[in-house]
Each structure stands twice: as structure tokens, then as C-alpha cells.
Amino acid sequence: MYLVESFYTIQGEGKFAGFNSIFLRFGGCNLTCKGFNSQIISPITGEIIKGCDSIQAVNRDFKQEWVSIYDKKQLSNIVKNHLKNLSFKPHIVITGGEPLLFYKNKIFYEFISWLIKRNFIITIETNTTIEIDFKRFPIYKKIIFAMGVKLSNSGEDKKNRIKPKAIKNLINNTKKSFFKFVLDKNLITNQKADKQIKKITAQCPQTDIYCMPLGDTPQKLNLHDKILVEFCKKNGYIYMDRLHIRLWGNKKGV
Ligand code: SF4
């Protein structure tokens, strides 16, 4: 299990946008989402790698920058360090990559249990393709999952990105989990966005649906944000900006 980075900032997306949060980003993902079109130079080959805005936590060419985790204390000490100068409890955000790759990992589970015992509010940001065994790992019932199910604009095969059983399983076993989708102008204007979202969310009509514009810079967000607002107004979804990108662009660790 690898940790890519940790930082204290505000949550930029979703139900808890604006909340003070400690982020822990784990390395590795079961998808690649090349359609999101963020680009970065590989430190190994010097070639351009395409992917999402978390590409450094997904592509193994960056593995040399990841920290290997072999003890729960490494993670709990990181949280304690961030808490040193705070007189309140921020949220904890577990992100990636795809952090649920490690949901059965003993150290990961111990760490989540340690956080729960201390009454932290925890969000795990997931692509919702991995089905959690809640009977064996019941602590996850206390987590809020930000279910970032990928649409066709991610460039991933449908069979890889949409796992209805994994979605249903999270909704049935947790209380405040919510959907968050990334949309762009094309997907909205060619009528695909609404169909895809309705199909994915049909089995959980009570769950909040947040939609955010595609882009890893404020300029790119500007291309999609207004049409997305209209799309949300029409369909009853919740528009969600990406505060961290508006404030800091694609700068990492803020
Ligand atoms: S699932 Fe998320 S972290 Fe993984 S490649 Fe896609 S957007 Fe990136």
C-alpha cells in the first residue's frame, strides 16, 4: 500500500465543499480515465502520459515518489501532525487513485477504525467499482462515500466503470453517501449525460446527485460550467464547482 501525499486544506468538491479537511491520497487505481485528458511527462520515459487530474496517483511511473506504508502508525502520525496547530477536528478525506483497492488491507482497516474511534467524519472518494464486504469489514458502514462513477467521457469501457452491484452495496450499507459526476459540454449537448446518469442512479432514487464541470484549470472549467448549471436546473441535480481548481488551478497539495 502506498501513500502519494497528505495535506490540510478545504474540500473542493461535493457535499462537503468548503469544509476544512485532511487529505490522504493513496497510490494505484483500477481505471485509467484517459478521456479526462490531463497530461504529464513521465519521469521514467519522458513521454506524455494522459489521464485524470490525479494521474500521479494512478500511473506507476510515479511510484518512486510514493511512500510505502507498512504500519498504521505512519498514517495516524500524519493525521496527528496535521492536527497539532488545530483546536477543532477537520474532516478526513481518503482519496486516490482508488483507495478501496486497499479496503481489506489490515493496516488500512486499522487506520480507518482508529479514525472512527476518534469520531472523525470520514469521506472515501471512490470510483465505486469495488464491492465492499460489509459483513467482514463493518467499520465501513460509518464512512461517507463520494461515489465518482465514471461516465463515457472518461474514456473507460462501460463494463469496467459501471458496477451496479458495487453501487447498490454502498447505498444499502451507508447513510450519507452521494454521487458525483464529471460532465463536459459535449456529453450534455449530445444528450448522453442525462441518459447515463439516470441509468446509473435509477436503483437509488433518494441519493443526492452532484455534477461538476470537467477541467483541471479555471479556463477549462469555464468551458463547461454554465451549460452544466442549466443541465442541473433542468434535471434536479446539484451543481458543484471545483473550488480548489478555481483557487489554485492544477497545483498539487493545496
Ligand atoms: S478512477 Fe478516478 S483516480 Fe482512477 S483514473 Fe479515473 S479519475 Fe483517475
Is the distance from CB of 178 to CB of 15 less than 8 angstroms? yes
φ, ψ for residue 68 (rounded to 5)?
-75, 130
124: CA distance to ligand 1 center in Å? 13
Which portions of the chain are predicted below pLDDT 50? none
From CA 233, how far away is CA 198, in angstroms rounded?
15
93: CA distance to ligand 1 center in Å? 16
Is the distance from CB of 203 to CB of 168 less than 8 angstroms? yes
80: CA distance to ligand 1 center in Å? 28
245: which 3 cell numbers?
Answer: 481548481
Residue nearest atom 5 of ligand 1, based on CA coordinates = 32
Write down the pLDDT at residue 38. 85
Is the distance from CB of 91 to CB of 123 less than 8 angstroms? yes
Residue nearest atom 7 of ligand 1, based on CA coordinates = 52
Alpha carbon of 83 to those of 36, 77, 92, 103: distances in Å?
34, 10, 11, 24
Is the distance from CB of 16 to CB of 124 less than 8 angstroms? no
Is the distance from CB of 158 to CB of 127 less than 8 angstroms? no
From CA 209, how far away is CA 168, in angstroms rounded?
15
Is the distance from CB of 125 to CB of 146 less than 8 angstroms? yes
CATH topology of domain 2-181: TIM Barrel (3.20.20)
Domain spans, the chain = 2-181
Structure confidence by residue, pLDDT tens digits, 5-17: 999 999 999 999 9
Measured from the Cβ of residue 199, the count of other Cβ atoms closer than 10 Å reads 11
Residue from 131, 51, 152, 162 nearest 97 by CA: 51
CB within 8 A of 181, min separation 6: which ones? 148, 149, 151, 193, 197, 209, 210, 211, 212
Write down the pLDDT at residue 191. 86
Structure confidence by residue, pLDDT tens digits, 181-204: 999 999 999 988 999 999 999 999
From CA 156, how far away is CA 224, in angstroms rounded?
20
Residue nearest atom 3 of ligand 1, based on CA coordinates = 97
Average pLDDT, the chain: 95
pTM beyond 0.85: yes
